[in-house]
Amino acid sequence: MRENRPLDRWFPYVVIALLLAVMAAGTVHGLDRHPQPRLVSQGISDAPVHSSLGSDPHEDMVRHAIADLDALTGPNGAALAGQDGLWRYVWPRDASFVAVARCAIGQYDKGLAVLAFLNRVRPASGRWEARYTEAGGHVGDGRAPQLDGSGWVLWATWFCRAGDKYWDMVRASADQILSELGPDGLPNVSPDYWERPERDLTLGTVAPLLTGLRAAVRIATSLHHSPEAARWWTAAEKLSEATDRVFGPDYPRIPAQATSFVEPGVQPVTLQGGRDAIVTVLGPPFAPARPVVSTAIDAAYDVLTQPNGGVTPGEDWRADGVSWTPQTALFALSAAARGDQDTATALLTWLDHHRTKAGALPEKVNRDLQPAGEAPLAWTAALVVLTDSALQEPLPIP
C-alpha cells in the first residue's frame, strides 16, 4: 500500500482552494461584463394610495403595493407585469400571484377578475403561453410555452376558492401536467421563470407543478369529482417522490450531475445546477413544511444573498452583484410562512428601503443600492402583500 505522504493529505484542500479562486475570478469577470442596470421608470406617480391594509412598520409599502396592483390591472382583469414596454404583458405566473394576493386580503372580486382573464386566454390544449397581451392575444416573440403556468394557475384558483367557477380551466391544467409526466415521474423540459430555453429539467418547473397538483386535488375533492381527485393525487405522489429522488436533498436548479468524495472527512464536491430561489416553492405556503426542504431553503438563501443585501435568482445566474426583488420577496414569504418572523421582517425592510422615489417596488436593486429595472413590478408587489398577510395570519397550504 502506498504511503500517505503530507502532499497526499493536503491535495484535496489545494484543489478546493483553486476552485474557489477560479470562482472568485469568475465573479470579478462577471462584474466587468455586466454594467449597472438602471431604472426604467419611477413608478405610477398618480396611483391612488387609499388602502388601509398593512401592518407596521411596512404599512406604507404595502399600501403602495396594493395601489400599484390596482393601476396595473385592467378592467378586463389583465394583470400586467409592469407598465412599460417589455413588461406590459400578462404572464400567467405573475397574474396568479396577483390573484392570490388579492384574495389573501379579502379582495375576492379583484382576484376573481384576474382568474377570469386567465380563463379566457387558457389554451385549448397544451401548455400556457409565456405571456399574453392585455387584450388577451398571443405574443409572437419566440418564447416557448411554459409548463409552470399550469401549476401556478391551479394554485391561484384553489386559493381564491374558485374551482367550481373555473372547473374546466382546473381540469385542463391538471391534465396537462399529467400528460407531461414520464415513466420516471418527472415532466418534460420547459422554460421557467428564468425566461430562457432549457436543456435540462429545472426545479423552476417541477416545484410549481407539485403545488398545482395538490391544489387541483383539493379542488376536485371539494367538488366531489372523485375520479379526477384520485388521478391527480396519484400523479402528485409520483412527482413528489421523483423530485426527492432526483433533486434531493439539496434541491438545486437542475439535478446534481456528479459528486466527488475526495477524502473521508472532507466535504464532497458536487457538480450541479446551483441553488435557485424557486426552492422556496417546495415549502410553506406552497407545500407542507419538511425539515429537509427548510434546510435547503436556508442554504439557498445564504448562497444567493448578494453584497447589497438582496437575493439573486440563482447560483448560476449572471455574477453581477445585482439583487432581484421577486426572489428576495419569495424568501421573505417563505420565512414568514415558516414562522421565521425576523428574517421575513428584515427582508421586507430591505425591500422598503429600496423603493423608488414614487414609492414603487422595482424589479432589481443594483450594486450601488439603487432601484433598477421596471417599477412597479406586479410580481414583487403581490409577494410583499402576501408576506405581510402571512406575518399577520398563516396562509392556507394546499
pLDDT, tens digit, for every residue of 231-271? 999 999 999 999 999 999 999 999 977 655 556 666 555 56
Instruction: Using the predicted structure, report yes or no on whether residue 71 has a pLDDT greater than 50.
Output: yes
Residues with Cβ within 8 Å of 300's Cβ and at least 6 positions away in sequence, in order, are 251, 275, 276, 277, 279, 280
* Average pLDDT value over all residues in the chain: 90
pLDDT for 256: 79
Q: Decide yes or no: CATH 1.10.1200.10 for domain 73-247.
A: no
Instruction: Using the predicted structure, report yes or no on whether residue 194 has a pLDDT greater than 90.
Output: yes
Instruction: List the grid coordinates of 206.
Output: 417541477
pLDDT for 52: 45
Predicted TM-score (pTM) of the model is 0.89
Q: What whole-number distance in Å separates Cα of residue 105 and Cα of residue 63?
A: 12
> Model confidence over 37-54: pLDDT tens digits?
989 988 886 555 544 455
pLDDT for 262: 56
- Over range 61-70, report the average pLDDT: 96
SS (H, E, C) the chain: CCCCCHHHHHHHHHHHHHHHHHHHHHHHHHHHHCCCCCECCCCCCCCCCCCCCCCCCCHHHHHHHHHHHHHHECCCCCECCCCCHHHCCECHHHHHHHHHHHHHCCCHHHHHHHHHHHHHHCCCCCCECCCECCCCCECCCCCCCECHHHHHHHHHHHHCCCCCCCHHHHHHHHHHHHHHCCCCCCCCCCCCCCCCCCCCCCHHHHHHHHHHHHHHHHHHHHCCCHHHHHHHHHHHHHHHHHHHHHHCCCCCCCCCCEEECCCCCCCCEEECCCCEHHHHHHCCCCCCCCHHHHHHHHHHHHHHECCCCCECCECCCCCCCCEEHHHHHHHHHHHHHCCCHHHHHHHHHHHHHCCCCCCCCCCEECCCCCEEECCCCHHHHHHHHHHHHHHHCCCCCC
Q: What whole-number distance in Å separates Cα of residue 268 and Cα of residue 265?
A: 9
Where does CATH 1.50.10.10 sit in the chain? 73-247
Choose between 255 and 23: higher pLDDT: 255
pLDDT for 41: 81
How sure is the predictor about 33, in pLDDT bands with cuts at 50, 70 and 90?
A: low
